[in-house]
Amino acid sequence: MIINSTELQNNFGKYLMLAAQEEIIITRNGTEIAKLTAIKETSVKNNTLPDKVHEKAPEYSTYGKKATYEEFLQLKQESDERFEYIDGEIYLLASPRTAHQIAITELFGIFYNFFQGTNCTPMISPYDIELRRTPENISIVQPDMMIICDLEEKLNEDDYYKGVPSLVVEVLSKSTRRKDLIQKLDLYMSCGVNEYWIVNPDNKEITIYLFEDNNISDNATFKNNEAAQSFIFDGLSAEIQRIFRV
């Protein structure tokens, strides 16, 4: 199947489901630029985790095998590295690049000032967020930044947050693009996040998705001299040129 990028943005949930059945080619101005395909599980020879992580890319890499939630928790306890656990698979997080850090720093400053005096709190990574598709299907992610509006109500006795952020921000890199645009988008959409900001330093664009009833109800992309505008927080905006100043 071949579709253009506008059609994909407007009906992402639909094509995400179709990708499980067939490969989808995305075009822009008549030129093929990407494809959407199902993620296939990698076969393994045994049921034990490898002793070392072999990075496939410098910023975001995977063990290449499924693991139980208990195995993930054990790995976290035994390692000083940062990990995420998404839909039964472990991912190693490595150090971000300069453009990533500048974008997050600028956004955090904007968000911090905007939410002063409210019940919403901006938080930045590393900070574990537990998301459940079902009671048994648990994922642990570390979004680059998030807005939490029920922090005090959802802290457990060990001072860990057990709620769902209202807004989540992820900054793309070449190695995280597929995870952020497909797997994490679907995870956030399915688990109660209301708004998802995807920050793209390469294209100097911010795309914002509004989620309602476990589906995409609206989205918008901002670039050049525009300011990204939140759907759920009236008046919250971020100038594109400020976010991508390098």
Return the pLDDT at 48. Answer: 46
Distances (CA, A) of 50 to 44, 60, 176: 10, 17, 22
**3-class DSSP assignment, residue 183:** helix
Q: What is the mean pLDDT of each successive set of 10 residues along the chain, which is 246 residues long?
A: 73 65 76 73 39 37 68 88 90 87 96 96 95 94 96 93 97 86 94 97 95 95 96 97 89
1-40: in CATH 3.40.1620: yes
Peptide bond into 126 cis (omega under 30): yes
Return the pLDDT at 43. Answer: 32
Phi and psi of 186, rounded to 5°?
A: -65, -40
Cα 197 to Cα 168: distance, rounded to the nearest angstrom: 6
Pick the CATH number of 98-243 from 3.20.20.140, 1.20.120.400, 3.30.450.40, 3.90.1570.10: 3.90.1570.10
Whether 98-243 and 1-40 are alike in CATH topology: the answer is no
Cα 130 to Cα 132: distance, rounded to the nearest angstrom: 7
Return the pLDDT at 66. Answer: 80
Residue ranges of domains in the chain: 1-40, 98-243
Report yes or no: 89 and 67 within 8 Å, Cβ to Cβ: yes
Return the pLDDT at 9. Answer: 67
Report yes or no: 53 and 81 within 8 Å, Cβ to Cβ: yes
Return the pLDDT at 14. Answer: 59
Angle at 116 between CA 239 and CA 110, to 5 degrees: 15
Q: Strand 121-124's sheet: what is its strand order?
A: 121-124, 145-148, 167-171, 195-200, 205-212, 215-223
DSSP state of 8: H
Return the pLDDT at 4. Answer: 78
Strands, E assignment, the chain: 2-4, 24-28, 31-36, 60-66, 82-86, 89-93, 121-124, 129-132, 138-141, 145-148, 167-171, 195-200, 205-212, 215-223, 227-229, 237-239
- Look up residue 223 and give its two tokens: 């670039």
Return the pLDDT at 3. Answer: 75
Report yes or no: 207 and 198 within 8 Å, Cβ to Cβ: yes
